[in-house]
């Protein structure tokens, strides 16, 4: 994968990523860059950069729980800065299966529908494919 530098990314229009609900991709950030910011700012959730502010809640979970799908073993390789439907910016983690991008998600071990809590102890790393197969089961 060819990762572009900041100047190249600023010249391009945001791309539409069909693999993740048509969100706008703004730029690619390395795992090292994101994790360095998290380690330097353990109590902050929002990363304020010169031209935008990023919600880093998901990235902080991956920092604690790991980058590898607990079911199939696909590994997150990069973060994509993406604009959500409300206009906010957040980081999504992506890996590859057979050269295709796959979203790496945060799964509730015990689903919320079955009383699972929204806390780090109940989260695990799972690719989107495995997470959709698991649905609301707790296996």
Q: pLDDT digits over 7-52, tens only? A: 554 444 434 444 455 678 889 999 999 999 999 999 999 999 888 8
Predicted TM-score (pTM) of the model is 0.81
Q: pLDDT digits over 53-88, tens only? A: 999 999 999 999 999 999 999 999 999 999 888 888
Tally of CB atoms within 10 A around 130: 19
Find out whether 81 and 27 touch, Cβ atoms under 8 Å: yes
Q: Is 51 part of any domain?
A: yes
Q: Give the number of C-alpha atoms closer than 13 A to the C-alpha of residue 109, restricted to the C-beta side.
A: 10
Q: Is 9 part of any domain?
A: no
- Give the separation between CA 104 and CA 44, rounded to whole angstroms: 22
Range of the domain at 119: 17-133
Q: Is 5 part of any domain?
A: no
Q: Is 7 part of any domain?
A: no
- Give the separation between CA 101 and CA 18, rounded to whole angstroms: 10
- Number of domains observed in the structure of the chain: 1
Q: Is 12 part of any domain?
A: no
């Amino acid at each position: 994968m060819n990762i572009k530098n900041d100047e190249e990314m600023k010249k391009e229009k945001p791309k539409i990523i069909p693999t993740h609900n048509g969100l706008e991709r703004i730029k690619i950030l390395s795992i090292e860059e994101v994790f360095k910011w998290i380690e330097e700012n353990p109590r902050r959730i929002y990363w304020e950069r010169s031209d935008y502010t990023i919600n880093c809640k998901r990235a902080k979970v991956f920092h604690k729980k790991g980058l590898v799908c607990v079911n199939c073993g696909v590994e997150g390789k990069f973060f994509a800065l993406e604009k959500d439907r409300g206009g906010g910016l957040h980081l999504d983690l992506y890996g590859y299966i057979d050269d295709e991008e796959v979203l790496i998600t945060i799964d509730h071990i015990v689903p919320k529908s079955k009383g699972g809590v929204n806390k780090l102890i109940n989260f695990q790393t799972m690719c989107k494919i495995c997470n959709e197969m698991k649905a609301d089961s707790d296996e």
